[in-house]
A and B are shown apart, each in its own frame.
Chain A
Amino acid sequence: MCGDRPLVSRFLAGFILLPCIAFAAINTWLAAQRDGISHSVSHRTVLSTFRVGREPNLTYDLSIAPCSAAECSFQVRLLAGTEVVTTLDLDWAKARGPVTKDTVDESSGVGDPLQAPTQIVAWSTGEEKTNVSTVARLVRLTPGLNGLLVDQRAGYDVLKRRHDLVVALGRKLVHAWTDAEGNGPTWSTVVIEDSNSDGSQRIIAFDGFRYPSNDQPDRLHYTGYHWNPKTNLIESLPDGPPPLYAVLGGTYKTLSEARAAQAQSSCLGTFWVLKSDGFFKLAQGMFVLTDVSTERPLAMKKLSEIKSCALQYSISVVESVYHPSE
């Protein structure tokens, strides 16, 4: 209504316009607060803000950079108070169109393979094939230093995921670690785990490849990383990744038997067909139908879920280090 009002005179225009502008600005601000998104005067869309560490004044934010083009960069900024210290663009996928809140699901690449976290907000931009869903998470690398883990899922017909860890070292932002999916039926997810009594955390990165033909087993890798404060680098865990919990839907002598069992079951379709050799606690030279988790309760929950529809299968949960041969 404000915008439709005719201007009678300069005085009157000012008299009417100023409240209108103020009203519009307040409305925009209120809408942004409702959405959990803050818009600055530069039209930057700030998605998430996190503390860098002990210094309360220093923060990360994940934002969509202002741009006039159709595609805008996702950007991590390091802020000291309101001052922008430095920025780092994440250009794997670009933002298109407005941002909306999205739910995190099993395709997001966020959290345990068996359960996506429900409390975390994802930010979605673009439609269908240009859709990008972005999640920012804080990782306590050391008691005094947090990193910002950005998980992105892009696509519609085909989904691809990428994970970037950005760390503030002094007044610089460092791209400390990245993991992106390549060609084919790939999948990945990243788990943040408490690792030490000092409160620091590690990240466990899973990635897999589901072979679409029956002549190959699937591929599943997982790697644990921690922050080394001496080198200021993200490094593989010196003792290898922690054991995981494998929900087993049977052990099979041949790949074709395992694939056949997978095809016949209504609830094992999402399970991986892997060589048993990678699991130290299983008989070697076999093939297993399995789904994995970093948490025993989640594995047990999955086991109870599949019990009713996998009666003919020998199902169990095994805690084992998993290290597939190359």
Chain B
Amino acid sequence: MPDITDGVGDGGTNKVHDVAIVQAMLTVVKNAKGNPYLTDYDGKSGPSTIHAITAFQTDQGLIPKPPPPAPHHGAHHAGHPAAPPPPPPAAPAAAGEKPGLVAKGSTTLAKMVGALPADFAPMRIIENTRTVYFPGTDADENASSNAINTTGDLEPAFRSKVVQLVDLMFSTHKIVLSVTATGGHRTFQQQSDTIKKGTSTKAGPGESNHNFGRAVDIGFNGFQWLKGDGAKATDDWWLNKLTKDGKDKVGIARAAELWKARDVIAVNGTPGLFNSILSGDDIHLQSFDDNLPNDRALVDLLNRVGSLKWEAEHKKPRRYNCDLGFGGKMFNVGTSVEIWDLKPTVTKKMIAEAKTDVLIRAAADKGAAAVKAVVHVKESTITDAEVVALRKALKDDFIAAETNWLNWRSVP
């Protein structure tokens, strides 16, 4: 049932969420002519809002009918752009109701709530936001929570936190959060496919926050909110309807308030999740600080679960150095996409150099003369099969990293 924390209208405290929900009710409730008292809501109380409240009170017999309004050319707010300010009442208000004011616990508020159609009666709002919405259902919350809980591809501790977020968001605000279709664990192959599409990511296989079950895109799919015309809208995960596909400044600001409300629970609350540092990526949450580089974490995992030695080369695009399994000199073998596609930079010359390096290191213990005597391995002695096998070995390490995704950890 809609409620307010403080007075709205003439002489009210006019907190944004209180004003918005009173205005919202006045966009839904109709007068005797079948017209709503307001045609929009914005959380700002002005002459139009006060006039609408007064009109509602008058129609409900809560205050005496005022005399005809005098012409006025003042500022306008939500709804009735040409509405005049509330005129002074002709007689003292009845039943303690002040004209133009909806006080907490007042008869005006009770009448307004009572006038709502049954399917609009559950409308509610979050403190310091301007979007009036309708509670999600227990069934939807259970479905979302269960879907996350039963998925095996999120790291267990992180998964628990995400479920906790879903549960807390519902118990606190009756909003059902859910993970987008591609917003959970992404395989290395899916990551490879995504980067090849060219425009949405620069992260290759093993370089995404989503490759190791510690990140989700979790949003508002199915969220029902009240439009300015008093009708319900059902939104998608990204609140595209509210933001009008990201084109409406007011809608964008309203959506930002809702993301913030989610993060009050997700980030500042018990789950203690981390959000994205990127502007426009509110939907993303993860288990670790987003400032940490992913290539170092990938190399850390490769070195723990793979058979080769790896280093991250901090250049763009991200490339990797590898010892090719010879335990010495490191060679730049390419990007993670190239490695995953079995097209890394592995040449006969590199293998010959790596093998020579092994001989030199073995000779080093015996002195400079021994090192000098080392016969360098010739490129011509390296076979095509060795090159192919090494390329596969590089990918095998990536496969090992993917297989051992639970062992991934963020690295400063």
Complex interface: chain B residues within 8 A of A158 (CB) = 200-201, 276, 278, 281, 284
B202, A182: Cβ atoms closer than 8 Å: no
Complex interface: chain A residues within 8 A of B240 (CB) = 182, 184, 209, 219
| B200 contact from A129, A183, A185, A219, Cβ within 8 A | A185
Complex interface: chain A residues within 8 A of B239 (CB) = 183
| A187 contact from B199, B245, B282, B294, Cβ within 8 A | B199
| Bound form: Cα–Cα A157–B206 in Å | 11
Complex interface: chain A residues within 8 A of B209 (CB) = 157
Q: List A residues 148-196 near B (Cβ within 8 Å).
A: 154-160, 162, 180-187
| Bound form: Cα–Cα A210–B194 in Å | 12
Q: List B residues 289-303 near A (Cβ within 8 Å).
A: 290-291, 293-295
Q: For the complex, is B33 an interface residue (Cβ under 8 Å from A)? A: no
| Bound form: Cα–Cα A127–B296 in Å | 12
B280, A182: Cβ atoms closer than 8 Å: yes
| Bound form: Cα–Cα A181–B197 in Å | 18
| A154 contact from B198, B219, B279, B294, Cβ within 8 A | B279
Complex interface: chain B residues within 8 A of A181 (CB) = 246, 280
| Bound form: Cα–Cα A181–B202 in Å | 17
A183, B280: Cβ atoms closer than 8 Å: yes
Complex interface: chain A residues within 8 A of B280 (CB) = 160, 180-183, 186
| Bound form: Cα–Cα A155–B208 in Å | 11
A212, B201: Cβ atoms closer than 8 Å: no
**Per-position binary interface string of chain B over residues 266-296, scored 1 when its CB falls under 8 Å from any chain A CB and 0 otherwise:** 0000000000111111111000001101110
Complex interface: chain A residues within 8 A of B238 (CB) = 182-184
* Chain B contact residue count (CB 8 A cutoff): 45
| Bound form: Cα–Cα A186–B199 in Å | 9
| Bound form: Cα–Cα A93–B276 in Å | 13
| A129 contact from B197, B277, B283, Cβ within 8 A | B277
Q: For the complex, is A128 an interface residue (Cβ under 8 Å from B)? A: yes
A129, B291: Cβ atoms closer than 8 Å: yes
Complex interface: chain A residues within 8 A of B59 (CB) = none
| Bound form: Cα–Cα A124–B202 in Å | 14
Q: For the complex, is B73 an interface residue (Cβ under 8 Å from A)? A: no
List the interface of chain A (C-beta within 8 A of B).
Answer: 92-93, 100, 102, 105-107, 124, 127-131, 154-160, 162, 180-187, 207, 209-210, 212-213, 216, 219, 221, 269-270
New A-B contacts (17) at CB < 8 Å, excluding given A127-B314, A156-B201, A216-B236? A92-B279, A93-B279, A129-B293, A154-B278, A155-B202, A156-B207, A157-B203, A160-B281, A181-B246, A181-B280, A182-B238, A183-B238, A183-B246, A185-B200, A209-B245, A212-B181, A270-B197
List the interface of chain B (C-beta within 8 A of A).
Answer: 180-183, 193, 196-203, 207-210, 219, 236-240, 243, 245-246, 252, 255, 276-284, 290-291, 293-295, 314, 316, 318
* A-B pairs, 10 with minimum CB distance: A182-B246, A213-B181, A184-B238, A183-B238, A212-B182, A160-B280, A157-B203, A155-B278, A106-B198, A212-B181
